[in-house]
DNA sequence: TTTAAATTCCCCTTTTTAGGGGAGCCCGTT
DNA sequence: AACGGGCTCCCCTAAAAAGGGGAATTTAAA
């Protein structure tokens, strides 16, 4: 029997996956957790073979949790689970010890296949995910904001002008202007409006 | 028998909810859709009593879909479903004809209760949601964008200048300028940057 | 039908951004 | 010690936005 445990903050998904796995005779459901604290508590008395882990956990993020887990319990195989198909996140998860990665639109069949494959020691990535990773070779990963840039960008987004920002940060206006121009260039957008849209929608600020 | 249909882009949640409802003798699962197009197709031949609707649908947003649905099929009762607990979104859903609202961390029991209550004509909001709505009483409800304003704002957010937008919409530059100024005034922000931030984070565009 | 809101267009001036440069300083890595 | 990236500051001009008005037409709602 493959002992499976799940951590996800959404009760609906926990119960959903539980019933998806119930039919299978090889899989044994050992429980679920909604928070990392719950998880640690359960692991003391009950070590699963496989841990299904939602990445979008509130508070702690799945990536850190994943690496901590593979330190403390290297035998537990982690399968990442998320609704987002952000390549960067998936990559980070795989680097931090996840053996497989599924999107939440994966089917029952796919879920079970993934669990069994991982149990055999194989890796598993669903088609969509592998496509994402593949197409991501010419990775259009977003430029990274430096500390100062982020600071300036947040103030721009709050409606301050270069002059006002300069006063606030005790800098020269031209400096702020440089940062603004740099950001517009590095993100390859046409103006501030587009920059803000990108930054907000990509959660850079 | 209560006929229940679901629209959600995540296969896992569809299948999860399906198996949550399977046991119940009063509830009959009539199918699922992953896109609005799928939904419309199904509805032609098969009208459910209750539609479980995920708000965070890609492409179309659940709020518009909801209002369109209550126009075309006023008999179908919509239960909103989402992982986000943003008061503004929940309120909009309720305004647009949703009879109930559940978070994805709702339990099996809660889901079934909600379905049955809504079927009886009662409204249902889970505790968390009602708390959210309550604490949000001193709501600083956002101004509404008119059709034209939204159109213009989207183009602004894409980095077009007034002149470019005017050409695109076959309007005079001063018109676009007026719209921009109006929006800045009505949203009480200082400039375009702040306007875009607000619009993106409040999902107005 | 009356009224309010939406949409369109126009004037003016000042401020702010955009776009093109260049350059020196600090700091961590090589 | 040399290099690059981040950060700072400076020049210039042209374009765009902000801020202040006003006003006519359409359209939808009361």
A 69-108 residues inside an 8 A Cβ radius of B = 83, 103-108
What is the β-pairing status of strands A27-33 and A2-7? parallel
In this predicted structure, the answer to whether residue A133 has a pLDDT above a threshold of 80 is no
What Å distances lie between residue A47 and A31, A71, A81, A119, CA to CA? 10, 14, 19, 14
In this predicted structure, the answer to whether residue A49 has a pLDDT above a threshold of 70 is yes
In tens, the pLDDT along B66-76 reads 877 877 888 88
Supply B88's token pair. Answer: 């503004």
For chain A, domain boundaries: 2-135, 147-201
From first to last of the 205 residues of chain B, give the pLDDT tens digit. 899 999 988 878 888 888 888 889 999 999 999 888 888 899 988 889 999 988 877 666 677 788 778 778 888 888 888 876 666 677 777 777 777 888 877 888 888 988 998 898 887 777 666 666 555 544 456 788 889 999 999 999 999 999 999 999 999 999 999 999 999 999 999 999 999 999 999 888 8
CATH C-level class of A147-201: mainly alpha
Q: Which of residues 100-159 of B touch strand D (CB under 7 A)?
A: 156
How many angstroms separate the first and last alpha carbons of chain B?
Answer: 40
- Judged by C1' against the alpha carbon of A162, the nearest nucleotide is C16
In angstroms, the CA A75 to CA B138 distance is 51
Residue showing tokens 């607000």: B198
Q: Which CATH superfamily is domain A2-135 in?
A: Response regulator (3.40.50.2300)
Average pLDDT score, chain A: 84
Q: What share of chain B is helix, strand, coil (3-state, %, to 5)?
A: 50, 15, 35
What percent of chain A stands above pLDDT 90?
36
Contact between chains at A106 and B201 (C-beta distance less than 8 A): no
Give the nearest chain B residue to A110 (CA atoms): B12
The pLDDT of residue A60: 67
Contact A202, B172 (CB under 8 A): no
Measured to protein CB atoms, the chain D nucleotides within 7 Å are 5-11, 15-23
Contact A50, A3 (CB under 8 A): yes
- Judged by C1' against the alpha carbon of B143, the nearest nucleotide is C5
Angle at CA A42, nearest 5°, toward A38 and A44? 125
Contact between chains at A107 and B9 (C-beta distance less than 8 A): no
In angstroms, the CA B79 to CA B41 distance is 20
Angle between helices B162-169 and B147-157 (to 10 degrees): 130
Of the candidates A157, A189, A197, the beta carbon closest to that of B194 is on: A157
A184 touches strand D (CB under 7 A): no
What is the β-pairing status of strands A77-82 and A124-125? unpaired
* Amino acid B191 CA to nucleotide C7 C1' distance, rounded Å: 22
């Amino acid at each position: 029997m493959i002992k499976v445990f799940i951590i996800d903050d959404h009760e609906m998904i926990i119960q959903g996956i539980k019933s998806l796995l119930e039919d299978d005779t090889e899989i044994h459901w050992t429980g679920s957790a909604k928070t990392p604290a719950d998880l640690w508590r359960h692991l003391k008395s009950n070590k699963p073979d496989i841990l299904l882990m939602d990445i979008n956990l509130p508070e702690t993020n799945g990536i850190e949790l994943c690496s901590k887990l593979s330190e403390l319990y290297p035998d537990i195989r982690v399968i990442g689970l998320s609704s987002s198909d952000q390549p960067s996140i998936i990559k980070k998860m795989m680097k931090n010890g996840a053996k497989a990665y599924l999107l939440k639109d994966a089917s029952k069949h796919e879920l079970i296949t993934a669990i069994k494959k991982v149990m055999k020691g194989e890796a598993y990535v669903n088609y969509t995910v592998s496509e994402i990773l593949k197409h991501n070779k010419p990775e259009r990963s977003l430029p990274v904001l430096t500390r100062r840039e982020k600071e300036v960008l947040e103030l721009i987004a709050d409606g301050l002008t270069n002059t006002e920002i300069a006063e606030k940060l005790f800098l020269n206006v031209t400096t702020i202007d440089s940062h603004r121009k740099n950001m517009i260039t590095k993100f390859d957008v046409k103006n501030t409006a587009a920059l803000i849209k990108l930054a907000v929608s990509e959660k850079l600020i």
